[in-house]
């Protein structure tokens, strides 16, 4: 191994796979973690893609010293409904609140509001919804092409969602857009979606319009085109999204 290779290895962060309450999670410790313990709870998409597969995203986590925990919850849609694909006894939302958050406090000494939510597609809508339902616990959230109006998948015959919800309308009532409280919302939210993402762009735009009509502060980018519903788009938007999260976590610390 050359000197440069040894130096690069020393600068590499560390991915691990652990188990929390019977479910696998990926964790990441950057080379120089933030002294304030800032952590990203990353919520994967429908096919469980995780950040470690995407070096540009990891580059920005490293730059800001952000630790990452990425639970693997299968096709659960990160909801508060029992999903047999994940667990027959606890919903994913309750798993995050009752198992993941206490783990972060006990092992990483990180407590809200120093935990930011981030996700893509299925995980993007999950991150937004969880922050809308728990804005004081998760005041900072970022979402890449959030699959907000996922009730359309029931209309398309999605068997897992059909087990979780009575019908498409039942699912629609549980979407992120309908969980926004006009007087109690996360202080820092960013979401983005490529305009060529024909399936999910319209619902992201409807979310934008609702937030605007309610006067809820937010940042979004629904104009940048960089590959549609792909990881190329995520990596293109990574600098802005991760930078937003890091900046707002710092604002929350100073606010507290």
Q: pLDDT digit string (tens) for 215-236?
A: 999 999 999 999 999 999 999 9
pLDDT higher than 70, residue 189: yes
pLDDT band at 12 (very low <50, low <70, confident <90, very high): low
pLDDT band at 6 (very low <50, low <70, confident <90, very high): very low
Average pLDDT over residues 148-152: 98
Domains and CATH numbers, the chain: 3-255 (3.40.50.1820)
Q: How many CB atoms lie within 10 A of CB 9?
A: 9
Distance separating alpha carbons of residues 241 and 247, to the nearest angstrom: 10
Average pLDDT over residues 159-175: 97
**Count of residues in the chain:** 256
Greatest CA span in the chain, whole angstroms?
A: 60
Task: Output the CA torsion sign for 123, 127, 128, 134.
Answer: positive
């Amino acid at each position: 191994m050359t000197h440069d290779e040894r130096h690069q290895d020393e600068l590499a962060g560390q991915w691990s796979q652990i188990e929390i309450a019977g479910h696998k999670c990926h964790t990441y410790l950057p080379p120089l973690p933030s002294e304030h313990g800032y952590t990203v709870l990353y919520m994967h998409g429908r096919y469980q893609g995780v950040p470690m597969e995407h070096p540009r995203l990891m580059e920005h986590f490293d730059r800001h010293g952000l630790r990452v925990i990425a639970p693997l919850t299968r096709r659960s849609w990160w909801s508060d409904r029992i999903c047999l694909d994940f667990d027959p006894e606890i919903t994913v939302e309750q798993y995050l609140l009752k198992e993941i958050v206490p783990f972060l406090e006990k092992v990483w000494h990180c407590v809200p509001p120093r935990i930011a939510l981030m996700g893509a597609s299925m995980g993007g809508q999950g991150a937004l919804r969880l922050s809308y339902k728990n804005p004081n616990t998760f005041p900072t959230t970022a979402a890449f092409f959030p699959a907000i109006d996922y009730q359309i998948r029931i209309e398309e015959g999605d068997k897992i969602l059909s087990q979780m919800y009575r019908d498409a309308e039942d699912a629609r009532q549980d979407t992120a857009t309908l969980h926004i409280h006009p007087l109690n919302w996360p202080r820092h939210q960013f979401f983005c979606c490529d305009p060529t993402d024909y399936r999910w762009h319209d619902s992201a735009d409807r979310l934008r319009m609702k937030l605007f009509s309610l006067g809820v502060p937010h940042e979004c980018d629904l104009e940048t085109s960089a590959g549609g519903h792909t990881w190329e788009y995520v990596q293109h938007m990574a600098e802005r999204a991760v930078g937003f999260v890091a900046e707002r976590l710092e604002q929350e610390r100073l606010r507290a």
